Structure 1
Amino acid sequence: MIRYHEPATRRCLFFMIPTLGNGGAERVMINLANHLVRHYKIVLISLNDTLPAYPIDERVDVHYLIKQRYEGRSTRLYYAWLTFYKLMRLIIMEKPYKVISFITSANLWTGVICFITNTPYIVSERTSPQRSVGSCAGWKKSLLAYLYRKANAVVVSAANVGQCLSNITQFRKLDNLQQIPNAVTQFPTATTTPVHPRKFVLGVGRLVRVKGFDILIDAFALLHNPDVDLLIVGDGEEREDLEAQCNSLGLYGRVFFTGAKSNIQDYYAQAEVFVLPSRNEGYPNALIEAMSFGCACVAVDCDYGPREIIKNGQNGLLVPQNKLDALANGMNDILTNKSLKEELQFNATQINYTNSPGHITSLWEQTIFQN
């Protein structure tokens, strides 16, 4: 791969995102900033002051544009002006070589400010376009489409995300799409200290509807395997509803909500099966993380990402959406078929090569410095 370290040693790159809290896009951006700061000046800008959920290299210059928010139309206008002023000031002062932004709201601010200041920029959509740009009001959608066309590149993590974006009327003229998948997160070495006293199926993610944990619980109830529990790692607004669902299905004492865990690598390494039950995705980090630890995986074939990661029957199992029995059967096949499980585990670890941080970072560098 082409490397740009020597001629670009002191170049300044801005990375902008709505928040640095818990989430896939946040993890990807922070990891990318941590890798690139070895060779470039990195300024990481968060529109809000949420504390970082993931470690940030001390050499990365972090800015929080808005410290506190209050509700009300007048205050929203004030915060919009404040965001505009602070971001404009930062860009004028630092004169970045390029601004890279993740997620639609940050992409909008990046496009507007960079257009005014004539600063090159790259935007990135990290999830289903129907949930992001597709849900915007007509005028906002048209503005975003114009700003995306003016960007040096529009980066998507999965090819089907780019196709879906291009299918939206206002975005049909996009000719600057670039696919860069997510890199595997580098975790500390997994320990052998048991995280749970029994065998378990694992789900990881925010407890929100789009992640489909209600689907996972319904499918788990169909397993009828009393020797295996279900562990769901993550926090979110649906926890109480999911716990009530478990109780109604008679799963009390079989399903455990652990909250977020700093040693998630131990859960991946010890799980019998990892399940991704999402209703839609962009490019699911939890899936490639589980695969990197050699965990046998079952994923719902949702839009988008899983079908670009899993080769069904080779490095994981891909099951149709809205088929609880297929999801339950996939889990059961891995739990009861040792040879299948071992084959999936071995092939899954190849993700460490195809999605290595070094390889993915080099793809980003090419996109940043060749566009």
Structure 2
Amino acid sequence: MTESVFLMPTKMSRRIAVVLPNLAGGGAERMHLDLAREWLKLGLNVDFVLLRKEGELLDLVPHGSRIVDLEVPCFRDALWPLMRYIRKARPDVVLAAMWPLTVVAVFAGRMAGCGARIVVSDHEQLSISYAGKGAGHRLFLRSSMAVGYRLAHERIAVSRGVARDLARLSGIPAKRYRVIYNPAAKGEQGLEGRLSSVPENAGPFVLSVGKFKAVKNHALLIEAFAQIADKVDVNLYILGEGALRPELERKIAALGLEERVFLPGFQHDTILWYQQAQLFVLSSNHEGFGNVLVEALEQGVPVVSTDCPSGPREILENGRYGRLVPVGDAGALAQAMLDELNHHPDPEVLKRRAADFRVDRIAREYLRVMFGESRITPGLTGR
């Protein structure tokens, strides 16, 4: 296990250990970086405890936090290294994300015997994400959660839909899961770091952001765009990277859209893209939350989304702040895109909705849950 300069904790410097597989360029990893910046501002210490020190977001770890590399290949090997870290660093809170690492963290924390509060958080509907893994995997999923999540001090879900799904899997009542939406509205934080530039010749464009994987269903978005390409003077840009890139490129070529649909790759900071987009589209089959919808709303960008479980309907308040269409319906998606490109909702209304998901606001919600309200001093949450 390697780490940066080690500072022993004191009674005056409470420490949060954020346990993640790595710092790949996903939404869950980004949100923990954003939360950490707020916690550091409030005077807390933050450790990022990673199974492996790797990922596109490593260079965005906020100054003042530490990276602890457990140097293990997978969650099965993480129990003892994580327990040793907890015993040595003695964090006040261990916040673990992404099953099954959540369960490993619970047992490591309990075995360490240091009194750390163990908090688990999940960012997707696990029953959907692992639906094709078979009966044995489902049994492991349910049984590990039924035991491990009961031993956690707190359980966080990023949407009501995720909370209901976790409750069904674990047998723990939904009321024992705390729903805290993702801190997807970054405010001034969104202007920090490297801003990925938009090509000068991009022209007016529709934007989508997400990894190139099946659940995001970018193929559906490309099909929908093909239906309206001759009716609108806009291009389509899909930001991201992943294993499905060759497949998406073939679909773009087959539809003759090489001059209208572009895949610029992974972008460290997408704020300038949002600011210049005419429309944002989410085409996913399912989402735990849907950070990108909030990111678009924060810039006043109109939104079209599939009505997938479970975040979009909650974020858009049943269609009040953006259009919802059935999952997998290219025709409905195309029509909604066309309608929204010809409709101009008030950007300030969209921005006010996004403010409900501000980083500073959500960071304090996490603190209240992680430490327990009675453990948070007025000065800590009042700034």
**What letter matches 1:45 in structure 2?**
V
Q: Take 2:200 and 2:296, find their aligned partners in 1: how far apart are those partners?
A: 15
- Partner residue of 1:333 out of 329, 339, 343: 339
> How far has the Cα of 1:235 moved from its partner?
0.7
The verdict on how the C-alpha distance between 1:106 and 1:132 changes in structure 2, with shifts beyond 3 A counting, is farther
Q: Take 1:293 and 1:166, find their aligned partners in 2: how far apart are those partners?
A: 34
Q: Match for residue 284 of structure 2?
A: 278
> How far has the Cα of 1:9 moved from its partner?
4.3
Q: Match for residue 171 of structure 1?
A: 171
More off after superposition, 45-54 vs 263-272: 45-54
Q: Match for residue 157 of structure 1?
A: 158
2:149 matched to 1:144?
Answer: no
Q: Match for residue 36 of structure 2?
A: 33
Measured on the aligned residues, the alpha-carbon RMSD in Å equals 2.4
Contact 1:291-1:349 within 8 A present in 2 as well: yes
**3-state secondary structure, aligned to 1:315:** coil
Gaps of 5+ in 1: 1-6, 70-75
Q: Take 1:19 and 1:37, find their aligned partners in 2: how far apart are those partners?
A: 20
Contact 1:301-1:321 within 8 A present in 2 as well: yes
Q: Take 1:137 and 1:193, find their aligned partners in 2: how far apart are those partners?
A: 43
Q: Take 2:319 and 2:310, find their aligned partners in 1: how far apart are those partners?
A: 19
Q: Match for residue 19 of structure 2?
A: 16
The verdict on how the C-alpha distance between 1:25 and 1:191 changes in structure 2, with shifts beyond 3 A counting, is closer
Q: Match for residue 45 of structure 1?
A: 49
- Partner residue of 2:106 out of 103, 106, 111: 111
TM-score, normalisation: structure 2 = 0.85
Q: Take 2:108 and 2:123, find their aligned partners in 1: how far apart are those partners?
A: 21
Q: Match for residue 71 of structure 2?
A: 66
**3-state secondary structure, aligned to 1:20:** coil
Contact 1:311-1:317 within 8 A present in 2 as well: no
Gaps of 5+ in 2: 1-9, 374-383
Tell me the percent identity: 27
The verdict on how the C-alpha distance between 1:57 and 1:192 changes in structure 2, with shifts beyond 3 A counting, is closer
Q: Match for residue 351 of structure 2?
A: 349
Q: Take 2:31 and 2:197, find their aligned partners in 1: how far apart are those partners?
A: 27
Q: Take 2:52 and 2:168, find their aligned partners in 1: how far apart are those partners?
A: 31
Q: Match for residue 315 of structure 1?
A: 321
Q: Take 1:139 and 1:194, find their aligned partners in 2: how far apart are those partners?
A: 47
Q: Take 2:46 and 2:177, find their aligned partners in 1: how far apart are those partners?
A: 24
More off after superposition, 92-101 vs 50-59: 50-59
Q: What are the equivalent positions in structure 2 for 1:121-140 lying under 5 Å apart?
A: 121-131=118-128, 136-140=137-141
C-alpha distance after superposition, 1:95-144 (max 9, x if no partner): 11121111002202101111212342000011112145765341453122
> How far has the Cα of 1:311 moved from its partner?
3.2
- Partner residue of 1:366 out of 348, 365, 368: 368
Q: Take 2:341 and 2:175, find their aligned partners in 1: how far apart are those partners?
A: 46
More off after superposition, 143-152 vs 201-210: 143-152
Q: Take 2:67 and 2:361, find their aligned partners in 1: how far apart are those partners?
A: 25
C-alpha distance after superposition, 1:173-210 (max 9, x if no partner): 46520010011133118899765432111111101111
Contact 2:80-2:108 within 8 A present in 1 as well: no
The verdict on how the C-alpha distance between 1:96 and 1:326 changes in structure 2, with shifts beyond 3 A counting, is same
- Partner residue of 2:251 out of 221, 238, 245: 245
Q: Take 1:145 and 1:318, find their aligned partners in 2: how far apart are those partners?
A: 34
The verdict on how the C-alpha distance between 1:361 and 1:243 changes in structure 2, with shifts beyond 3 A counting, is same
The verdict on how the C-alpha distance between 1:133 and 1:171 changes in structure 2, with shifts beyond 3 A counting, is farther
The verdict on how the C-alpha distance between 1:226 and 1:317 changes in structure 2, with shifts beyond 3 A counting, is closer
C-alpha distance after superposition, 1:21-55 (max 9, x if no partner): 11011011111122112311211101122135161
Contact 2:196-2:270 within 8 A present in 1 as well: no
Q: Match for residue 202 of structure 1?
A: 207
**What letter matches 1:348 in structure 2?**
L
**3-state secondary structure, aligned to 2:345:** helix
- Partner residue of 1:85 out of 80, 84, 93: 80
The verdict on how the C-alpha distance between 1:143 and 1:133 changes in structure 2, with shifts beyond 3 A counting, is farther
